[in-house]
């Protein structure tokens, strides 16, 4: 049997600065009660001024290498999932590669928004299966605070900053990535946008800030998409793994909104106690949400060796993806 990508270590970083619902009440016309009822989020972490995605990615990288007990020189590849890179070039993965001294590693950034970590894990799994690479560092890192329109109450309540990382290596037994699915709906991409070079008067006018780089979203369209995508991706990945939902100990979803997770759980016929949730503390950290949730699920003993989990993401693009992983 071909080896599969096995997660052998985890590490994460979140900034210490908190943005609470009470803070947001002073910034826009909203309330703690509304935010908790509609999203489940109570607070988010916000990077200090001058701290970028690569800075947080670097801390997460150092922590995961230490937890793995391997040196940076042993890495073959660094994959960074991010939608909020410091700059267009060099990429976040190249910045991290240089700073940790991973002289033997290739470095690639991936932008599939909130699906980023699952996309990167899926790609890493292919490299491990073919035997092309042995040790891959995967990081999801985001400074969504830099993309958020803090004058728009529809979106500013949702997002936070952070970075999570894992090391994957070839499996020896029955652990590792058992099944994956990735998908996209480019037509639906218009429902969640942030602009770089392109000028678009209509899009700019939608933003309260008037800044085309800030994120604009049709919240109810994205909400409907997300519930469908999460349920569909989970079902398909479990099928590809040759398993049924009864074989799954825990689902670790992208932490966008408690209502999305509840909606998907209902569609799947899975109790909420099989869903891992930490969004109340961090909000939506895009590609950093799943690896940080994974770290906390392990750290709290909620997931242990031998367990089988589904990691499932969905978001801008529009994109979605799920991976069934045995630890």
As a dihedral over the C-alpha atoms of residue 224, residue 225, residue 230, residue 236, rounded to 10 degrees, the angle is 130
183 and 319 Cβ atoms separated by less than 8 Å = yes
Does residue 295 carry a catalytic annotation? no
75 and 93 Cβ atoms separated by less than 8 Å = no
- For residues 256-315, which are near ligand COA according to CB under 6 A? 256-257, 284, 314-315
- For residues 4-43, which are near ligand COA according to CB under 6 A? 30, 34-35, 38-39
Dump the DSSP string for 111-156.
--GGGHHHHHHHHHHHHHHTTS-S-EEEEEEEEGGGT--TT-TTTT
User: If DSSP codes are grouped into helix, strand and coil, which group holds residue 325?
Assistant: strand
**Contacts by 90-95, CB closer than 8 A, 24 or more apart:** 92/53, 92/54, 92/57, 92/139, 92/141, 93/139, 95/54, 95/57, 95/58
- For residues 203-222, which are near ligand COA according to CB under 6 A? 217, 219-220, 222
Give the number of residues in contact with ligand COA, rule: CB under 6 A: 21
Catalytic residue among 114, 125, 191, 295: 114
Does residue 111 carry a catalytic annotation? no
Per-residue contact flags (x/-) with ligand COA for residues 77 to 116, judged by CB under 6 A: -------------------------------------x--
Report the residue number, 114 or 121, with the smaller CB distance to ligand COA.
114
Instruction: Give the residue, chosen from 153, 206, 228, 281, that forms a contact with ligand COA under the rule CB under 6 A.
Output: 153
What count of residues does the chain have? Answer: 327
Catalytic residue among 21, 111, 191, 254: 254
Does residue 94 carry a catalytic annotation? no
Nearest-CB residue for ligand COA = 219
List the catalytic residues. Answer: 114, 254, 284
Query: Which residues of the shown chain bind ligand COA in the complex (CB under 6 A)?
Result: 30, 34-35, 38-39, 114, 153-154, 157-158, 217, 219-220, 222-223, 226, 256-257, 284, 314-315
């Amino acid at each position: 049997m071909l080896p599969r990508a096995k997660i052998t270590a985890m590490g994460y970083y979140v900034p210490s600065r908190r943005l609470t619902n009470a803070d947001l009440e002073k910034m826009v016309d909203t309330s703690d009660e509304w935010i908790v009822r509609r999203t489940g989020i109570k607070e988010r972490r916000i990077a200090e001024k001058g701290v970028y995605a690569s800075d947080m990615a670097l801390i997460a990288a150092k922590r995961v290498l230490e937890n793995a007990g391997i040196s940076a020189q042993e890495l073959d590849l660094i994959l960074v999932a991010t939608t909020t890179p410091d700059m267009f070039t060099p990429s976040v993965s190249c910045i991290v590669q240089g700073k940790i001294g991973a002289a033997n590693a290739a470095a690639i950034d991936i932008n599939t928004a909130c699906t980023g970590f699952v996309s990167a894990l899926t790609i890493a799994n292919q490299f491990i299966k073919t035997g092309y690479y042995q040790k891959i560092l995967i990081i999801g890192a985001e400074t969504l605070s830099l993309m958020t329109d803090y004058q728009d109450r529809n979106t500013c309540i949702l997002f936070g900053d952070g970075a999570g990382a894992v090391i994957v290596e070839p499996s020896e037994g029955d652990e590792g990535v058992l099944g994956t699915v990735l998908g996209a709906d480019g037509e639906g991409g218009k429902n969640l946008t942030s602009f770089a070079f392109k000028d678009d008067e209509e899009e700019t006018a939608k933003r309260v800030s008037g800044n085309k780089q800030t994120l604009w979203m049709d919240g109810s369209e994205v909400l409907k998409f997300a519930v469908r995508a999460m349920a569909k991706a989970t079902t398909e990945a479990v099928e590809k793994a040759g398993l049924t939902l009864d074989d799954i100990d825990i689902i670790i979803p992208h932490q966008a909104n408690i209502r999305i997770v509840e909606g998907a759980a209902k569609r799947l016929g899975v109790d909420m106690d099989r869903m891992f949730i930490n969004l109340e503390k961090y909000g939506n950290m895009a590609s950093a949400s799943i690896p940080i949730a994974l770290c906390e699920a392990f750290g709290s003993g909620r997931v242990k060796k031998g367990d089988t989990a589904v990691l499932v993401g969905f978001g801008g693009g529009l994109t979605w993806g799920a991976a069934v992983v045995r630890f």
